[in-house]
Amino acid sequence: MNRFEYTRAGSPDEASGLLADETSRIIAGGTDLLPLMKDGIISPAKLVDISLWLKGREILQGTEHLEIGALVTLSEIARHEEIKMGYTALADACGLAAAPQLRNMGTIGGNLLQATRCSYFRGPYDCWLKGGDTCFAREGENEQHAIFLTSPEQSACVSAHPSDPATALLALGARVRYQTTSGEAEVDLGDFYRLPKEEQRSMTSIPHDAVITAVVLPRKPARSLYRKAMPRATWSFALAGVALAVEIEGGTITEARLALGGVAPIPIRATAVEQAMQGHTPAELRADDLAELLVKDAMPLSRNGYKVQLLKGLFKQVLRDLPT
């Protein structure tokens, strides 16, 4: 690990100012940042600790929104009664993420920013995402990588996004609030993530000096859940994750939001399936047909074709388990 300067910031505004130097990084729980530093993948000259910002640990329940501070841990979200009842997919996702020790330390803000688990990125390889010329996973060991958005024209990186909460939040219509030196801003979670480009090899759209302050969820009477398939029974990253949120009025689905994780470089929406579900009662849904529609655009790599069937099965499980 490189030598670095350590400082504390009492507020996001102060922290954002300290990030003006692009060699600086924010640290809170540190569950992803410190391993990246130990492995020499990133070498920040300064760490800005915001863990003492108390307001960032609050969960605020308003009449129109639920606001989760960026420093709230995954364990706290998984246990929160309001979230368990009204935003079940998020409680599910946080409860299934990583191991208990990591859930106790890892914050929701940090989780949304975590780097890919691709072994080429994490290992001693000059892969494209780290600034090299080649995505080694495209023709190499890619059993756990993306099956969507894998053509070179779509994405130069074929890693699979690792965050369970991000998938649930995308289905729930969340927004991310952040602070920069220019002021406060919000962005839809679907726009928070973006495919990396040659000029900006990052999976997120926010500027370098941005400090995530909260995740904001709309107050909607949605029924939701999250399910994932893992290489081990517990404490693993998703081979595939499915989050579904639906609104039902008079027995009919009026809105559906279906998000997928672990199968693309960023969390993605399955909009064709969403549209096919709307206007029907849950009993009218044809699970097999919807599952085929779900994977219609899949482009698996040389060693991960199994994920197509895995995703179909997981989606049908979600349809079966969704409260009606």
Which run of H or of E encompasses 248? strand 240-249
pLDDT at 235 over 70: no
Domain positions in the chain are 223-321
pLDDT at 324 over 80: no
Q: What is the DSSP string of 293-310?
A: HHTTT----TT-THHHHH
pLDDT digits (tens, 9 = 90+) for 52-73: 999 999 999 988 999 999 999 9
Share of residues in the chain with pLDDT > 90 (%): 92
Mean pLDDT of 9-29: 93
Return the number of other C-beta atoms located less than 10 Å from residue 279's C-beta: 11
Mean pLDDT of 239-244: 97
Read off the pTM. 0.97
3-state helix, strand, coil in the chain (%, to 5): 35, 25, 45
Environment class of residue 170 by beta-carbon count within 10 Å: exposed (0-12), middle (13-18) or buried (19+)?
buried
Return the number of other C-beta atoms located less than 10 Å from residue 50's C-beta: 25
The DSSP output letter for 320 is H
Averaged pLDDT score across all residues of the chain? 95
pLDDT category at 234 given cuts 50, 70, 90 is: low
pLDDT digits (tens, 9 = 90+) for 72-100: 999 999 999 999 999 999 999 999 998 89
Q: What is the DSSP string of 127-184?
A: BGGGT-SB-GGGTSS-TTS-SSS-STTT-S-------HHHHHHHHTT-EEEEEETTEE
pLDDT category at 20 given cuts 50, 70, 90 is: confident
- Sheet containing 5-8, strands listed edge to edge, beginning at the edge strand earlier in sequence: 5-8, 46-49, 24-27
* Best CATH choice for the domain 223-321 from the list 3.40.50.2300, 3.30.390.50, 3.40.640.10, 3.30.1360.120: 3.30.390.50
pLDDT at 226 over 70: yes
